[in-house]
Structure 1
């Protein structure tokens, strides 16, 4: 059964299938949902939504627990469940399903899995010794590590950054128990409550965790944990700067000040300051909708060239950001520009991260397949756990760009 919220709850709808377990669902990109569950035949079944439900597809296998589902990109899925010999079983999708593989362990519960960044997976489960066990993938599986404890439910796993993990499960006195990883495991702490079910946890922003569990009164209880986050050290004095100019043909939906604040926030993590040299409103309605072709660097249309001729107040090494109503074809933004004329076009409905992303292209950055990062090639609307990351190598590229200035 499914109930969706989009300004209001849709009401329950029946999606069919013959389920023998709780389902697990994720969204890998806007408008798409994947769901898996164990069927009455002990196989794992998959259903997906993309403008409509695909219908159930059997992934085979003989499994003995609810599955857990994760995916590090729009084209990747990983399903885990307990096998008949209590080992962890895995089936992955990357253009096609891989088939089931055995990953060992002695599981007494359903597993929980997440991807914190592209190419990496973390899995936890309660073992037959009642401890929580952890396994991770990074170009290969690490093998099982005991996190200790004496737990009485399936665990749930979440993480607000590539360096953070939080595990929750029910303890022997029915209280919620927590163990966190931030460079090392913290050990188990008791968070109270009287749980009658396994908990469920998600992180929607850095430092905050939302929890749900069934209570001993048969009600669903929720809580938000303001997790302990080490204070962030003040950033070092900027070692490079980027100077931009804003030309507004159509006012953006996200105010310029907000987009600028997001850009300043992300670039500062690599010691790069952002300056606005000038802001100007241009009265050229014929360029409100700009043809950008395939948006390939070095290849620009006549309309782009006409737009980019409006560079008043901008130096030769300073990028100009043009805010228009739309691009043709429709993109959030386009950083294609002629050699020696640094410029980007931003559409009216772009996100708060688009300006930082497109100027990043001007400065030499390429797309990556990781929705935790500013330069994700999957669209800035799909950024996970903002603010997105600018990695050290990207900072170095910006500092060496002809369009940045070293301090």
Structure 2
């Protein structure tokens, strides 16, 4: 049962193709407009940052047992945020402001400080790195396309200093030891160029060759060891590495990628590389210390780069933006990728007595598919049939009375409507789109009480974009909850406050246990 609700919240909506974009990814909600910056400052602790639709900075975190946020950290940022941690329970986040200067917020273990302006006029995203407790180094491109550097020495900010050069895209900085920094950029010749700090002075620029078509991903897995990954002109992944005394590569790792690559190392001589493929899914290659594995697909349909972090050996957490602009999460627990949900199929048929007025059937169906995909259920559209409301047996059912609208107690009109199950098998759900739906208590957006062995729901023409998913959720055994972030809210799906609405673990278990999802 879905109630019209006392207030209708309208959201800008972009119709997507009917597909299953987020199967086996966990939705963390939100509506974000940038890539995600992920950082871990302790075992089983993750902090994620992204820009929201109001251009403010938003924060969502994992505390070891549950997710917190989203919380707004305010500001008005015009770049992707970048977050670093130099110690337990310490976070520093940087972004470009509307004045093109770098702005900074920090978490001191108990409260947020900032925003503070660090000045400068930058024309790229920021790269930030820590090489020791209470030490931070920032790099960005200036208006002259040169590299600029600002640093925190534990008590005061130094810089900006110009490190020269002329480059395109964003810089990337890594550190493999105390007071050691390596910075990589794509030059105007599309080759990779390198500067380094040896503890007392800057070296470079040196050209490392190649013809790059992406920003650079770089990481260190040990002292004096660096691995860099880029996309080449053939859209394949390429690798160059420093072994402590000389550069190796470029080697081709194949594939056809459509995003900047991302890389992380969780232990000595172990690398995991991720990128988006031509199908929009996340793809993965890994180095196990002696050979490359992959490519393997991790699914999804993503609209951002992959953000990856590791908080312990053989543990990986990936974060991406989905087609609905929410944040999605996938993780490696040491033996398998999560969420470890079953892949099941649910077939739904649509019978139209009256077309919806606020959202199309396709739009409602797409929302249902996206939401149910989080539970590992692929919703298949079995058939669509227009019922002839001029027929005497159909006409009175266009404004359907569901009586009490309680589970297992369908009204006489619902029983009559359920006779129209053309093309539907016994375990298929049939949804009837009616002009209006009412009950003993008044008007409804929909109702899902049905006769035995005739799983069905009715949806009113004035229903919300989430009513179809809500009512089919009831058919699968879900009950109402008093939470407007959830699909099964008892307050009407027009009042959902943080779209897309959530399914929780217990609801997923119920849905997968239904004999209708196979």
TM-score computed with the length of structure 1 as normaliser: 0.52
Tell me the equivalent position of 2:189. 173
CA contact (8 A) 2:87 2:134 kept: no
1:169: Cα distance to partner?
Answer: 1.1
Q: Which deviates the most, 211-220 or 130-139?
A: 211-220
Taking structure 1 as reference, are residues 13 and 191 closer, same or farther at Cα in structure 2, changes over 3 Å only? farther
- Output the CA distance in 2 between the equivalents of 1:53 and 1:216: 40
Tell me the equivalent position of 2:29. 16
- Output the CA distance in 2 between the equivalents of 1:11 and 1:185: 46
Q: Which deviates the most, 213-222 or 107-116?
A: 213-222
1:41: Cα distance to partner?
Answer: 1.6
- Output the CA distance in 2 between the equivalents of 1:16 and 1:215: 34
1:227: Cα distance to partner?
Answer: 4.0
Taking structure 1 as reference, are residues 192 and 102 closer, same or farther at Cα in structure 2, changes over 3 Å only? same
Taking structure 1 as reference, are residues 11 and 171 closer, same or farther at Cα in structure 2, changes over 3 Å only? farther
SS at match of 1:33: strand
Taking structure 1 as reference, are residues 18 and 215 closer, same or farther at Cα in structure 2, changes over 3 Å only? farther
1:56: Cα distance to partner?
Answer: 1.6
Out of 126, 136, 145, the position equivalent to 2:151 is 136
1:69: Cα distance to partner?
Answer: 0.6
1:11: Cα distance to partner?
Answer: 4.9
1:194: Cα distance to partner?
Answer: 2.1
Tell me the equivalent position of 2:219. 202
Give the structure with the larger strand fraction.
2
Structure 1 unaligned regions, length at least 5? 1-9, 230-380, 383-407
Tell me the equivalent position of 2:66. 52
- Output the CA distance in 2 between the equivalents of 1:60 and 1:118: 27
Tell me the equivalent position of 2:175. 159
SS at match of 2:76: coil
What's the RMSD between the two structures over aligned residues?
1.9
* Structure label with greater radius of gyration: 2
Divergent runs of 4+, >6 A: none
Tell me the equivalent position of 1:259. none
1:84 partnered with 2:84 = no
> Which residues in structure 2 correspond to 1:28-47 (within 5 Å)?
28-47=41-60
Q: Deviations over 1:196-238 (max 9, x none)?
A: 2211212121011122223333334333322449xxxxxxxxx
Q: Deviations over 1:88-108 (max 9, x none)?
A: 110001111112110011100
Tell me the equivalent position of 1:100. 115
Q: Deviations over 1:29-85 (max 9, x none)?
A: 111111111222211111111223223211111111111110111110000011111
SS at match of 1:143: strand
User: Higher relative CO (CA 8 A, sep ≥ 6), structure 1 or 2?
Assistant: 2
1:124 partnered with 2:123 = no
- Output the CA distance in 2 between the equivalents of 1:55 and 1:217: 41
- Output the CA distance in 1 between the equivalents of 2:238 and 2:28: 27
1:71 partnered with 2:88 = no
1:22: Cα distance to partner?
Answer: 1.2
Taking structure 1 as reference, are residues 166 and 216 closer, same or farther at Cα in structure 2, changes over 3 Å only? same
- Output the CA distance in 2 between the equivalents of 1:67 and 1:117: 21
Structure 2 unaligned regions, length at least 5? 1-22, 247-311, 314-518
Tell me the equivalent position of 1:289. none
Taking structure 1 as reference, are residues 150 and 29 closer, same or farther at Cα in structure 2, changes over 3 Å only? same
SS at match of 2:170: coil
- Output the CA distance in 2 between the equivalents of 1:81 and 1:220: 28
Tell me the equivalent position of 1:269. none
Taking structure 1 as reference, are residues 196 and 11 closer, same or farther at Cα in structure 2, changes over 3 Å only? farther
Out of 215, 221, 224, the position equivalent to 2:238 is 221
1:153: Cα distance to partner?
Answer: 1.2
CA contact (8 A) 2:225 2:244 kept: yes
1:186 partnered with 2:203 = yes
- Output the CA distance in 2 between the equivalents of 1:16 and 1:192: 41
Taking structure 1 as reference, are residues 199 and 62 closer, same or farther at Cα in structure 2, changes over 3 Å only? same
- Output the CA distance in 2 between the equivalents of 1:212 and 1:57: 33
Taking structure 1 as reference, are residues 39 and 212 closer, same or farther at Cα in structure 2, changes over 3 Å only? farther
TM-score computed with the length of structure 2 as normaliser: 0.41
Tell me the equivalent position of 1:6. none
